[in-house]
Structure formats: C-alpha cells, structure tokens
C-alpha cells in the first residue's frame, strides 16, 4: 500500500496499491480495507466473499490528467438471508461509473459551460454528461424531499 498516495486520494475505506501514469491519464489500483460488509437486508455482518469483479470508475482530474480508479466490486454471501449481496462503497453511488465527487464537479460546471463544452473538456460523450447531470439533479430532489418530510414531522 502506498501511504502517500492513499492520503492524497482522500477516499474513505480504500488504499492505493499502485499507480500508473500515461500521457493523458493516471490510473490508481485500489484495495478495499474492510474484510466484510453488512447485509443491507438483515444487517448481518459477513466476510464470506463470493466473487470479485474488477471495475473502473472516473475520478477528479489531477495535474491536467484524467484519473481512473481500478477497484474490486465484491460480492458477499449472507447466510441469514441466503442471498448474495454486492458491497456498496460510500464514495460511489449505486451502479455509477464515477465517484460522487466527480459527478458533483461535473454538475457544478453547468453554471459556467454548456453540455457540449463539458463533453469536450472531459472527453465524455454528450449523453454521459447529461446522464451525470440528471443523476445529481434527481439525487438533490430526493434529498430535498426527505428534508421537507422531516420538517413536517418536526
Ligand atoms: Zn442478510
């Protein structure tokens, strides 16, 4: 594990194993620190690893280079529910291909640039930019809704 790079990356629950630098991009190989996960259905803690699939997610750029994180998507087995459960990482939304901070960053750029400009700058397809934008907007609306529900309860 690379302590300096892990500190620099500043994401919870993961460590940088290695780093590869290319002309226009950098990729970090990450390791998940937790040995197991809590079952979202019954809260049982399990360490029974069923399978690991490597995934790549986009993160915020550094020094003008695109950043990609290579990490394991781990599936555990819960004996109580007799179900396979996929681990959720707190810095990536469910089934997204980007870190939350990357998506938030793209979303905030819409105040200064149009979708085509962001697409060119980030080397993302126009549809990908729209998809990120919609994802964050829906998330905000949901959070706003939950917040106003709480206010009603108070
Ligand atoms: Zn369970």
Whether 80 and 39 have beta carbons less than 8 Å apart is answered as: yes
Distance 62 CA to ligand 1 centre (A): 39
In a domain, 110, yes or no: yes
pTM score, whole prediction:
0.90
Distance 42 CA to ligand 1 centre (A): 4
Q: How far is CA 134 from CA 38, 60, 128, in A?
A: 29, 19, 10
**Per-residue pLDDT band at 154 (split at 50, 70, 90):** low
Whether 77 and 93 have beta carbons less than 8 Å apart is answered as: no
In a domain, 133, yes or no: yes
Q: What does the pLDDT look like over 48-79, one tens digit per residue?
A: 999 999 999 999 999 999 999 999 999 999 99
Distance 11 CA to ligand 1 centre (A): 27
**Residues 136, 57: Cα–Cα separation, whole Å:** 16
pLDDT of residue 132: 96
Distance 77 CA to ligand 1 centre (A): 8
3-class DSSP state of 96: coil
pLDDT of residue 136: 96
pLDDT of residue 25: 97
In a domain, 130, yes or no: yes
Distance 47 CA to ligand 1 centre (A): 12
Domain count along the chain: 1
**Per-residue pLDDT band at 81 (split at 50, 70, 90):** very high
pLDDT of residue 97: 96
Give the E-state strand segments of the chain in sequence order.
14-21, 25-32, 37-38, 45-46, 49-62, 65-78, 83-86
The boundaries of the domain holding residue 144 are 93-154
């Amino acid at each position: 594990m690379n302590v300096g790079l892990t500190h620099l990356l500043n994401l919870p629950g993961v460590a940088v194993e290695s780093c590869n630098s290319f002309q226009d991009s950098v990729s970090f190989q990450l390791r998940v620190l937790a040995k197991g996960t809590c079952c979202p259905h019954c809260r049982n803690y399990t360490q029974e690893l069923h399978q690991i699939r490597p995934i790549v997610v986009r993160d915020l750029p550094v020094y003008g280079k695109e950043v990609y994180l290579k990490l394991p998507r781990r599936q555990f087995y819960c004996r109580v529910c007799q179900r396979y459960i996929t681990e959720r990482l707190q810095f990536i939304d469910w089934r997204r291909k980007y870190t939350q901070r990357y998506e938030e960053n793209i979303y905030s750029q819409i105040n200064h640039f149009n979708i085509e400009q962001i697409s060119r700058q980030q080397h993302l397809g126009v549809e990908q930019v729209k998809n990120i934008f919609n994802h964050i907007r829906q998330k905000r609306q949901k959070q706003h809704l939950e917040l106003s529900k709480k206010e009603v309860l108070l």
